[in-house]
Structure 1
Amino acid sequence: MPPPSAPDCYRVPTTPSSGEFRDRGSKFVAVLRPVRSEAEALAVVEEQRLAHPKCNHHCYAYRIGPGTDRWRANDDGEPSGTAGKPILGQIDKEGLSDLIIVVSRYFGGTKLGTSGLITAYREAARLSLLETVLAERVLTSPILLEFGYALMTPVMGALSQLGLEMADQEFTERARIKLEVRQSEREATVKELKAAIAGVYLAEVHDTFVVEGLTVSLPG
């Protein structure tokens, strides 16, 4: 099993890859694609149907996002539980998300039986996972700053000091800046910002600390 990620990270593949497994004349061709939505995942399935028109089965599994509720495993006509779940099992063994694996089967004339199919789909998926490059995707949360122009210099100085980049900005009657920071660091970052903008020690910033002229919002 891979080492656990931080609470605001999850592991993802960053490159497409493929794998091939053969058993008694049958060939199982697996492709792995990084995806960010169910629509993207299903488009890969259709892509493989077109790429392998002689195959009657294009079985697949995918997971999307950091949670555990956006997934699907499809046997595409193979006996129930012999294809999609073994593919998904390999994805989960590596602790990955934001990907789909499609395995297209070329029938070789000999039936493999339930156990043979499970092994073949599992191995094809495993081989495709060996070839991809993995990374961690960081989950972020926004911080919104609204302030008068008298605070422009201290705000910009604080951003520079803390190494924070603006995700969005609007300068009208008041200045509005949006930041994106790691979820696990958002509360600490707000305190550091207030201290830097106000020019006080971090220990002086408590939960009700207010910088005059500055509004800080934390959208959900």
Structure 2
Amino acid sequence: MSTEKDTYLTIDKPSPEILFKEKKSKFIGYVFPITSEDDVKPIIEDLKKQHHTANHASYAWQLGTDTIRYRANDDGEPNNSAGQPIYGQIQAYNLTNVLVVVVRIFGGTKLGVGGLISAYKTAAQLAIESADIKKKIITKLYTITFAYKDMNSVMRVIKQKKLDIISQKLESNCVYIISVRKTKANEIFEIFNTMQYVVIKD
């Protein structure tokens, strides 16, 4: 993860397809943005349809910012010769919420475990380098409830602290959902919590 506590690196859109060749074997690399583990299977199935002559579609993914979940899959290659080297590149580039897939089309010459590790690592690295990596801020959402007459005081804090309003419901009571940068979350909570006419919940 990024060394800054409230940012992380990820991608918004799939990377271009990259091709790496090693002893006539083709290694085709991809990076996809994902939001849950459920996103993975359809992407893998689609790639296997696209490359119906492929022998393997090895992959690794990582999800989360505070709590990290990940998986590496060799898809029939020798143990830890494909998924793990791919996952190593996700870690090397500090990425999360991504799936990296390397499809292999066998070229007739065996590479050995060392050769496979090197080829999968290189293909994953090239795919990641071709992706448009973005830095994103980790945020926390709060719900604040207050009377309409107190709108100006609340808005003053929101503007001063440059907070984002995600949604608002304006009735006799106003309900705002605000997005706060993680490192500022406690400070913002305390500001609203000390305002007698505001109820704040996370």
Tell me which structure has the larger Cα radius of gyration.
Answer: 1
* TM-score (structure 1 length as normaliser): 0.83
Q: Deviations over 1:12-47 (max 9, x none)?
A: 123422322211111111111111111112221111
Paired residue secondary structure (2:144):
strand
Structure 1: stretches of 5+ with no match in the other structure: 195-208
Residue 141 of structure 2 is matched in structure 1 by: 142
Higher percent of residues as strand: 2
Structure 2: stretches of 5+ with no match in the other structure: none
Structure 1 residue 94: Cα displacement: 0.9
- Does 107-116 or 151-160 show the bigger shift? 151-160
Paired residue secondary structure (1:95):
coil
Q: Is the 8 A contact 1:57 1:105 kept in 2?
A: yes
Q: Is the 8 A contact 1:19 1:31 kept in 2?
A: yes
**Structure 1 outlier segments of 4+, above 6 Å:** none
Q: Pairwise CA RMSD of aligned residues?
A: 2.0
Structure 1 residue 83: Cα displacement: 0.6
- Does 55-64 or 158-167 show the bigger shift? 158-167
Structure 1 residue 131: Cα displacement: 0.7
Residue 80 of structure 1 is matched in structure 2 by: 79
Q: Alignment length, in residue pairs?
A: 201
Paired residue secondary structure (1:21):
strand
Paired residue secondary structure (2:79):
coil
1:1-220 residue pairs with structure 2 within 5 A?
4-17=2-15, 18-67=17-66, 69-191=68-190, 193-194=191-192, 210-217=194-201, 219=202
Residue 205 of structure 1 is matched in structure 2 by: none
Q: Is the 8 A contact 1:19 1:125 kept in 2?
A: no
Q: Is the 8 A contact 2:164 2:180 kept in 1?
A: no
Please give the alpha-carbon distance, in whole angstroms, between the structure 2 residues aligned to 1:143 and 1:114.
50
